[in-house]
Homo-oligomer: A and B are copies of this chain.
Amino acid sequence: MSGPLAGVRVVDLTSVVVGPICTRSLADQGAEVVKVEPPGGDLLRNLAQGSRNAGMSGKFIQFNRNKRSVCLDLKRLEGMAAMRRLVEGADVFVSNIRPSALARLGLDHEALAAVNPRLIHCSILAFGSGGRYAERPAYDPIIQSLSGVAATFERATGEPRFVPMVMTDHITGLIAAQCIGFALYRRERTGIGEAVEVPMFENMASFVMSEHMSAATFDPPVGPTGDNRILSPEYRPMATKDGYITVGPNTNAQAFGFFDAIGRPEMRDDPRFCSASARTTNAAAYFRLRMEALRERTTAEWLEVLSARDIPCAHYNTLEDLMEDPHLADRGFFQAEDHPSEGRLRRTAVPNHFGGGRREEELHAPRLGEHTREVLRQAGYEDSEVDRLIEAGAAQEAAC
């Protein structure tokens, strides 16, 4: 029993979040991920607060479990030679480097396919090639600003803002892992690798517009852009007598059950609320009806009444509540880990279960260059050669 990607060797030249969540998704399911970092390391090692030791932020640890770290200076010829050696023996190469820079390094698909035709070469880009933004640098908020994510908040609240997560990085990275899985599947059938290009802006434009192109899907549009139900100012946890609750009475059965529960059974015959499409058209009124009713009882009272009728409902968790959530406790979601240099940690479980088996050995998030020697040895370097690389500054090793 091992993970579905057991034996897949990934060379990971990515940083911050978009690439690291991609390769973590592969690593969590069994792939052998080698994270190649420059001297100084992945920016995320220091870009987030909360650490016991410099370069080992909590956020870096979360996104880089189950990987090994090799520190190479790609500006030096010997560092670049070591990098190429790693890629020659790999199944997958992932980067989030601009295409022109990748080509300058000789790490573009064409160059690497010549030595390793089975390689799957995944480029995560801010902007797809061929468009005018292609060479622009970007981080997550740049993409939130452009792709309509910030715009959904202006529609809902009057003011553009970002989702307080590096959401576009995170989502695009998950999609990149999806694409790599598809390419691995194809390679098993054809025997040859391919180049895969995963642009953040286009993926997020697709994400947002799949939800909110709405009436503008039609040409000419049959109404304004945007799903008015979800863009409603009231689309949020609603106040109860003592806190918050979220309810989702969407189908007729759920809506009519909800009307009964709040003592307004006549609403099922109200033309505004008698069908899913009527409730969608009258979303604002439906939200008001819920809001007025829900503040009359406590959260616990409502959860009991609504659950009994199988109406989707839930309490509201703060981040601290989430860490104590009883369902997650039942599932063993937050796990204790003893990290060799960072001490006792809390790790989240891999959420998805594969009946055919899971990754055998879990690895801790690596210190910068923790596996430089081990990985280079596996790639065929003698210990003395590794020593020379380190002396020349082309590689670095973590202190023991």
Contacts and interface: CB of A to CB of B under 8 A. Distances in A.
B231 A346 contact: no
A326 B131 CA distance: 8
A229 interface: yes
Contacts of A127: 327
Contacts of A195: 353-355
A62 B130 CA distance: 25
20 contacts: A4-B183, A4-B185, A47-B277, A50-B222, A62-B210, A131-B327, A132-B330, A137-B311, A150-B237, A150-B246, A154-B318, A177-B178, A181-B182, A182-B184, A185-B188, A195-B353, A209-B319, A219-B345, A225-B323, A226-B319
Nearest to A207: B170
A296 B248 CA distance: 45
Contacts of A275: 46
A205 B128 contact: no
B148 A21 contact: no
A320 interface: yes
A54 B311 CA distance: 26
Contacts of A209: 62, 319, 322-323, 348
Contacts of A349: 202, 206
A314 B355 CA distance: 45
B182 A142 contact: no
A115 to B, nearest CB: 16
Contact of A319 (B208, B251, B320): B208
Contacts of A134: 327
B49 A210 contact: no
Contacts of A342: 218
Interface stretch (A66-74, A161-169, A263-271, A390-398): A161-169
B161 A58 contact: no
A351 B50 contact: no
B148 A319 contact: yes
B333 A205 contact: yes
Interface centre among A131, A137, A159, A178 (most CB of B within 10 A): A178
The oligomer's copy count stands at: 2
Contacts of A192: 356
B148 A182 contact: no
A48 interface: yes
A335 B347 CA distance: 44
Contacts of A254: 137
A222 B59 CA distance: 13
A336 B219 contact: yes
Nearest to A244: B160
Contacts of A5: 182, 185-186
A162 B152 CA distance: 11
Interface string A179-202: 111111110111010111111011
B218 A345 contact: yes
A147 B43 CA distance: 27
A354 B193 CA distance: 10
Contacts of A360: none
Contacts of A213: 58-59, 62, 323, 346, 348
Contacts of A336: 219
Contacts of A116: none
A212 B231 CA distance: 25
B181 A185 contact: yes
